[in-house]
Structure 1
């Protein structure tokens, strides 16, 4: 009987993870459009040109990084990017969606990221984290109106 219970549990876990994986890979056209927008502004952010990235922020943007004690607006993002880009540059990143919700011209996306930056001396810095982006479609383009997230602190 114990062997049957273990087999059942194993089968249930396989089915659960298969269903979870198939859900993540079967996005609707709207969800794919939102995710394409996220990929587009991450690529712009990796270009090390703040203006190419901040054009994806609506003027109404208000977001909150784990690193900041309070939320900030678009001007705060510009200041922060100008500071960090003088310190080093992006080398690569990987982003993976967890969930995407769309309702007309509004959407939010929960996702994970891994990125490697390099400081002025060439020392790499790896970071893993998660974000929730809140988006509004304006003139056919998904723009950030808010977000929350950042680096996941290590338990070391």
Structure 2
């Protein structure tokens, strides 16, 4: 009985450690974006598909990199905050739900504020968590 309890405790710590690693990856992408770094090449698998509310279709890695290059030359992130709302890790796959807020300044000096929900899907690839997909939902802030 003690052995089973010990294994359960060890397994629980392993799961908690995996979740910590996944969340650290998510936060590091925001921090890289805030710092103007290319987080897409670093943290996404080649087959990544991302569907933001601003796009009619999901974007592949090539499109994401092109959009990132344009936005990094034309906007500057001033602030961000991310709050984890739920996560599931099953084997080498993680699904992360969280709420985000950010502010950025465009090339004309206008400050834009965004908030919404993100669902990220990551896979463990060569002992690193990488983005496979994400989907964004931004509520209508005019309401």
TM-score computed with the length of structure 1 as normaliser: 0.76
Question: Residue 89 of structure 1: CA displacement?
Answer: 0.6
Aligned residues of 1:94 and 1:115 also touching (Cα < 8 A): yes
- Larger Rg over CA atoms: 1
Q: Which residue does the alignment assign to 1:54?
A: 41
What's the RMSD between the two structures over aligned residues? Answer: 1.6
Q: Deviations over 1:93-148 (max 9, x none)?
A: 00001111101111010100000101224332111111100001112211100000
Question: Residue 37 of structure 1: CA displacement?
Answer: 1.0
Segments of structure 1 that go 5 or more residues without pairing to the other structure are 1-26
Given the alignment of the two structures, is residue 35 of structure 1 paired with residue 23 of structure 2, yes or no?
yes
The count of residues paired between Structure 1 and Structure 2 equals 129
Alpha-carbon distance between aligned partners in 2 of 1:134 and 1:94, rounded to the nearest angstrom: 19
Q: Which residue does the alignment assign to 1:99?
A: 86
Alpha-carbon distance between aligned partners in 2 of 1:45 and 1:95, rounded to the nearest angstrom: 13
Q: Which residue does the alignment assign to 1:72?
A: 59
Please point out which of 102, 109, 113 is paired with 1:126. Answer: 113
Q: Which residue does the alignment assign to 1:19?
A: none
Question: Residue 150 of structure 1: CA displacement?
Answer: 4.4
| Higher relative strand content | 2
Alpha-carbon distance between aligned partners in 2 of 1:116 and 1:35, rounded to the nearest angstrom: 21
TM-score computed with the length of structure 2 as normaliser: 0.82
